[in-house]
């Protein structure tokens, strides 16, 4: 049976040290696509995709392939099953339980204090009060928490995940030591109050492919995906031709739906025209992109896969830039 990899439901992808291809591969996994299909999707050899999947398994982002056995597995005693359960699977529930405890501490013991009193207390608080103050809805208290010499990454993640004022999140965004943390960035992407200015500041330096992955993230709310699309469009024509071509090729042209109305220069076109195309999905997406230059349309029409596929030929022939 061919392996149909699926992501771990409890895994957090953004904190992981993934390169753009690994990130894109992980975003396509849903348990229904096998390795040959994924290889065709990424325009890579199957052994390359398998190697990437094995790296993702090692990072804990993908469920390992299950060996196929003709006999049903023998039941294990309950004690053995518990002993072999990986600790990593308990991390998310434990973190949620701790957060609930800290929120309860804030609501029951700290929230009744006046704002000025909470600000003064937050500047010198120790655990568990310091974590509890991360749930304070007041910007002034969050700023005080960030001024506390004991503040660390765990507190920054709590603020990024649970705080709901733009000013408070901007205060967190002013601390590069925290915003460079993958867990903080992931929590910010999931926060519906993420300010557009902070998103642009943190993601503008990233590669186009990383920006595109946010536009398709299932973890980000729609308003964040909309910000990501706007930033992608603003960044596209400012990047080198090699990076623009990489984005189009690596995403199989899916990015082009977000780039309607934009064009590519001669350098990017030349890079795309030097390739041999075998992916029908990539060709279809380019053929549906009205800004595809005439040279690229002509190059696609000369590809063997197009010559053998009448539907692709007709799609390219109907393109407004077809000669």
pLDDT tens digits, the chain, 323 residues: what are they? 477 888 877 666 666 677 777 777 887 787 778 887 777 677 678 888 888 888 888 777 888 876 544 444 434 433 333 333 333 334 555 666 667 788 999 999 999 999 999 999 999 999 999 999 999 999 999 999 999 999 999 999 999 999 999 999 999 999 999 999 989 999 999 999 999 999 999 999 999 999 999 999 888 999 999 999 999 999 999 999 999 999 999 999 999 999 999 999 999 999 999 999 999 999 999 999 999 999 999 999 999 999 999 999 999 999 999 98
Asked if residue 106 is part of any domain, the answer here is: no
Q: Answer whether 41's CB lies under 8 Å from 96's CB.
A: no
Residue with tokens 């809805």: 137
| pLDDT at residue 67 in the model | 56
What total number of domains does the chain contain?
1
Evaluate whether residue 19 is within a structural domain: no
Please tell me the distance from the alpha carbon of residue 86 to that of residue 40, in angstroms, as a whole number: 33
* H/E run at residue 176: helix 176-179
The predicted structure's pLDDT at residue 11: 64
Q: What residues make up the domain containing 287? A: 245-317
End-to-end CA distance of the chain: 46
pLDDT value at residue 46: 83
From the list 26, 14, 24, the residue with the least C-alpha distance to 188 is 14
Tell which residue, 323, 321, 300, has the closest CA to residue 313. Answer: 300
* Distance of alpha carbon 316 from alpha carbon 192, whole angstroms: 41
- Asked if residue 257 belongs to a domain, the reply is yes
What pLDDT was estimated at residue 58? 78
Residue 34: the pLDDT is 81
Q: How far apart are CA 126 and CA 148, in angstroms?
A: 9
Strand-pairing partners, residue 62, are 7
In angstroms and rounded to an integer, the radius of gyration of the C-alpha atoms of the chain is: 24
| Degrees, nearest 5: CA angle 151-154-159 | 80
Any domain includes 139: no
By C-alpha distance, which of 180, 129, 136, 189 is closest to 159? 136
Residue 296 lies in a domain: yes
| pLDDT tens per residue across span 37-72 | 777 677 678 888 888 888 888 777 888 876 544 444
pTM of the model: 0.69
Whether residue 48 is contained in a domain is answered as: no
SS3 content of the chain, % helix, strand, coil (to 5): 60, 0, 40
Residue 294 falls within a domain, yes or no?
A: yes
Read out DSSP for 2-45?
A: -----B-TT--STTS---HHHHHHHHH-SSS--HHHHHHHHT--
**Residue 288 belongs to a domain:** yes
């Amino acid at each position: 049976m061919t392996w149909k990899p699926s992501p771990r439901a409890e895994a957090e992808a953004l904190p992981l040290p993934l390169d753009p291809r690994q990130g894109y591969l992980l975003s396509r996994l849903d348990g229904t696509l096998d390795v040959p299909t994924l290889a065709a999707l990424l325009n890579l050899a199957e052994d390359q995709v398998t190697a990437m999947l094995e790296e993702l398994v090692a990072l804990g982002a993908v469920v390992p392939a299950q060996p196929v056995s003709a006999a049903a597995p023998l039941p294990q005693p309950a004690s053995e099953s518990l002993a072999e359960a990986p600790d990593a699977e308990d991390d998310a529930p434990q973190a949620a339980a701790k957060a609930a405890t800290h929120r309860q501490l804030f609501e029951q013991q700290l929230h009744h204090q006046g704002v000025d009193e909470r600000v003064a207390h937050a500047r010198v608080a120790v655990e568990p009060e310091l974590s509890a103050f991360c749930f304070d809805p007041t910007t002034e208290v969050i700023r005080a928490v960030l001024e506390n010499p004991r503040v660390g990454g765990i507190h920054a993640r709590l603020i990024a995940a649970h705080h709901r004022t733009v000013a408070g999140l901007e205060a967190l965004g002013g601390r590069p030591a925290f915003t460079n943390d993958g867990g903080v960035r992931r929590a910010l992407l999931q926060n519906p109050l993420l300010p557009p200015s902070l998103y642009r500041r943190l993601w503008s330096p990233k590669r186009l492919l990383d920006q595109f992955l946010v536009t398709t993230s299932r973890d980000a709310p729609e308003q964040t995906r909309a910000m990501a699309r706007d930033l992608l469009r603003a960044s596209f024509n400012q990047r080198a031709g090699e990076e623009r071509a990489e984005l189009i090729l690596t995403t199989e042209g899916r990015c082009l739906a977000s780039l309607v109305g934009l064009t590519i220069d001669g350098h990017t076109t030349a890079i795309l025209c030097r390739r041999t195309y075998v992916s029908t999905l990539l060709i279809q997406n380019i053929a549906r992109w009205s800004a595809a230059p005439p040279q690229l349309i002509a190059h696609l029409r000369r590809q063997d896969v197009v010559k053998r596929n009448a539907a692709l030929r007709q799609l390219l022939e109907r393109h407004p830039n077809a000669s």
